[in-house]
Structures are given as structure tokens and as C-alpha cells.
Chains A and B, each alone.
Chain A
Amino acid sequence: MLAVLTFIVRRSLWTVVVMFVITVVVFFIFFKTPGVDPARALAGRDPSPQVLAEVRQQLGLNRPLWIQYGIMMKKIFITRNLVSYSDQGELIIPEIFAAAPITLSLVFGASVIWVVAAIVMGVAAARLRGTIYDPVLMILALIGLSTPVFWLGQVVILITQVKLHSSIFSWVQLGYTPLTQSPVKWFEGLIFPWITLSILYIGLYARVLRANLLEVQNEDYVRTARAKGLSERRVLLRHTLRTSMITFLSLFGLDFGALVGGGAILTEVVFGIHGVGFLTWESLTNLDLPTIMAVVIYGAFFIVLANALVDVAYAWIDPRVRPT
């Protein structure tokens, strides 16, 4: 038990160190790129001299480097009053915090769909190996994997909102309603974005899982399980799939983190879901550097956090890496 606690504490400390390094790197990219005046870059398009002076003063740009870094981090993490100069002085951090649950809803729902569908497809393909169904499933997965999200999203919108909106899909009202407000509306508004986002991952995960299952199937301990007289079903679920989930899970943690960190940008833009990805896209089109910087740090934070969670989950699912 003590070993587990030490492991978690050590892992958390490490996460803090990584976060610190990321903020430093991001800070240097945005403030210290040679030949760029950071005030001009941060102040938005065609700033007036007054705005420039205000930015310099607010961010302490004429003070020593480490104070500049300190002011920036204070504005992001403590006072949370970093403003976007191109967006009429909007406060950035609250904006991100408002967008986060929307992105989380999108990614969570999509991940449930893709995990379930990928396991079903991967297991079916591995089980049906040698029949025509295996290559058919894998070609389907490959198609899913290579379908661009922006195109698929447009097609889904075209079908549900235009072509068949008056008949089958009249219940579909795209757009985000908080789960706490109305679970039904939340679901109706997000189901098609979920599907759209998950298609790529279903394809990817099904292929990875199938390959892994076939590899594990040749392991000696699977032969042992069969020699014990267990049913094929039990051998597959309790022995083959169980160990294959180790790879599956680590992949999942990383993708989930990256998506919550803003990686679902295309889906959010196509469906007009105002999550973190949408915010990123908006600030990119407006050259709104303070927002971009904050979003990058926020995204990195989620990826690092997901990594840490994967490590803990790893220990839970694989006794060999458990701390002793």
C-alpha cells in the first residue's frame, strides 16, 4: 500500500515538473521568438500605440525575463485575468473553462462509442479469421480510419439536417445543451458529432486490437488456457482479450487526453460546437496569440494528466508493472 502511495506521489510530482517545462517552452516560443516584438504579436491586428504601451505595461515586457514569465503564469493560473486584445478584452481563462465541459462531453461520448465498437469489431475480426468477414471488417476499419472528419461531418449534417431532416432525423437538433439542464437534449445534440468523431478511432482501435489479439493468441499461456479445458469464449475474453487491453488502454489514454486538450478541433468547427477546439480555431483565424498560448498550455495539461492516469491504470491492469 505504501509502495502504491509513493508511486502516485512520485508520478504526480513528475507531472508537475513536466507541466513546468511545458509552460517555460511555450513562454519562450511566444515571447522570445527572435525578431518578433511580443507586445505587437500579442496585441492583435494593427494595435494603436496606446494599446501597445498598455500591453507592455500589463505584461511587464520591459522587466527581466523571469518576471515576465512570472507575470504571465500569474495571469493564467492565479488571477486568471489574461485578456484577449483582439477580442475586446475578453477574459481568456473563464472562456476556456466554459468551453472545457463542452469538449469533455463531446470526447467522452465519442470515446464510449469508439471503445465499444472497436472491441466488438476487433474481437469479431480476430475470431472470424480465415473467413471472408475478417478482411471485410478490416477494410471497413481502414475506410473509417482514412475518412476525413471534416468531410464526414459535412455529409452527416447534409443527411440529418437537410435531406432527411423532415422525416427520420427530425429529432436531431445539433448544438450543445449542458447535461445538467436536459440529458435528452444533451444526447440528441451530440450523438451525431460523437459518431463522426469516433469513426476514425473505431477504425484505428479495431485494427490495433485485432493485430494484438492475433499476437496474444499465439502466446503459450493461451494454449495453457485451452489445455485447461476452458471454453473458446472464456479463453478469448478472460485470457486473450484481457492481456490485449494493456496496449489498448495505453493508446486510449493518450488519444483521450489529446482530444480533450483541443484535438477535436475539426469536429467542433464542422458542427459548430463551442468547445476548446472551436476556441482554438477562432483564435487562430483572429491571430489572437494570448488565447492560443493559453489553449496550448491547457491542452498540454490534459495530455500530461492523461499520461499520468494511463500510468496508474497500467499498474492496475498489468501486475508486472505494479510498484512493490
Chain B
Amino acid sequence: MGSFILRRIIYVIPALIAVSLISFLVIAVPPGDFVDRLAEEAAKKGDIMPLAEIEAMRRAYGLDQPLLVQYWSWITGVVLRGDFGYSFGWNLPVKEVIWPRLGLTVVLSLASLLFVWVVAIPIGIYSAVRRYSVGDYIFTFLGFLGLAVPNFLLALALMYVAFAWFGQDVGGLFSPEYIEAPWGWGKFTDLMAHLWLPMVVLGTSGTASVIRVIRANLIDELHKPYVTAARAKGKGEFALLMKYPVRHAMNPFVSGQNDIFVDIVSGGTIVAIVMGLQTTGPLLIKALMEQDMYMAASFILMLSVLVVVGTLLSDLLLAWLDPRIRYQQG
């Protein structure tokens, strides 16, 4: 097991190097850079920047260096000093913009994932065991509805309902008075009060797909020989269901969780814009449009790291759950 974990962690390193290189190149390779954008903006105002000034700005920001040199100085800064570079757009070090946003993104994503599990697992088990019952059809219908309705539409509808019928303050993750406030109990409860709406919106499609996955896996397992064997031992139906088929059906479910997590993290952008959430999505869009390269590359890097770490975690969880993986690959 130890060797298995260690090997898995070591496999992560080349993945991270590749991810960082690609996220930087994706931003830097397209023609034009931040200085071009500045010059364009200035030109629109009738203020033509002299070429010398443009060149001087490029030198100042290090944009005249070869790409690989730029990448190297950026990535060494990230790894050695935790310095993600400087955001041209915000005129602030990237890390000061990024960390609070990233924290909220992770909290929201994990909350959504939790929501998915709490709702989808019992429903999935119910649907599999009572296949083709009225309840199964209802949940199946609701599930497909959840899959089909676009997130942002659901967001708009829920916001309207919450505002018009319950008079709740919607939009954003905090009430206005807490946005700039330091962390404290008040701010925490305020966050919780706002979190449920985006959590439900982001979790809905995941819930629908997890229900289908669990239902399908479990139906395959319900008639496996080991179930008959356990029944022939005299085990009660519910205890049997939980110990054998459900446990077996968990494996494909666990390995699928990372995909859902990625969906939630990256799929949240439009919802975040619609709902005015202070997560990473809207910021990334802005950085990409402005060709704020360090900002954008850092965001993509961080999100990719989240995905790689998520994969690692779900692999480790799977190894913990399934002795076949533990003993045969270790």
C-alpha cells in the first residue's frame, strides 16, 4: 500500500510539469500580448503610443524574452517563492487576487459535491432496488430534467423564486456588508446562507448523472452470485444490500467522482457570472480577454493542479476501498 501511494504521488510530478507548461503556452502562444492590448486601448482614445514606448514596456514586463525563458522565470517564481507573477490588469501581484477567490471556489465545489452525494446515493440505490417502480420513474424523469436544463437557466429561475417568494438576498456569496469584512462567525454564517443556492445549481446535473451511474452499477451487481451466496447464508435483505452489492457498486462511482468535481470547478463560470459569485470563473474570463498572461496562466495552473490532486485522491480512495487494487498493483 505504501509503495502504491508513493508511486501514485510520484506519477503526479510529470503530470504537473506538463500541465504548467501547457497552461503557460496556451496563454502566451497566440499573437499579441498585454502591451498590444494597452496600445489598442490607448489608440481608441486617440493616444498613439510611440513604438519605443511599447518596446520599453515590453522590456519592463519581460515580454521581449523568448517564451521558454519567460516560462522558466515564471515557474521558478511559483515553485520557489510562491510568486505567481504580476497581474497587468489588476496592477497587483497575482497571488493577492487569486487566493481568496480560489478558496471560495474550492469551498463551493466541495459543497456541491457533498450535495451530489447526499442526494444522489440514496436515490440511486432506491432506483436500482425498486427498478421500474413508480418512484424509479419519477426520479428518472427528474434526473433527466436536471441533466437537460442548463445551469445558468436553473440559476436564474432559483434566484427569482428565492427573491420573489422568500424575499431572500440572492446573488453573490456574501451580503454587501460582509464582502470586505474580515473572517468571523458573522461572515461564516452569511456565507452558509448564500452558499446553498449556487450549491444546488452546480450540483444538479452532477446529481442526475450520479443517480444514473449508481443505478446502472447496482443493477449489475444485484444479481451477482455472491449476493445469492450471502442470501443463502441467511443474511437479511437490507444488511446484505449494503454490505455486498452497494459496496461493489461504489468502485466505478468513486473513480467517476473526479470527473464530476472537474465539471463543477470548470462548469461554474457561467453560473458564477449569472449569480455574481466571487469565484475564479469570472476572473479567468476577464484575464483571458485582457491577455493578462500571468494571471490567466496562474489560474489555469491552479485549476489543473486541483484536477490532478482530485484524481490522485480518488485513486487513493479507490485503493482503500478495493483490496484487488491494493494488493495487485502495490
Do A and B assemble together?
no
Identify the A interface with B (CB < 8 A).
Answer: none
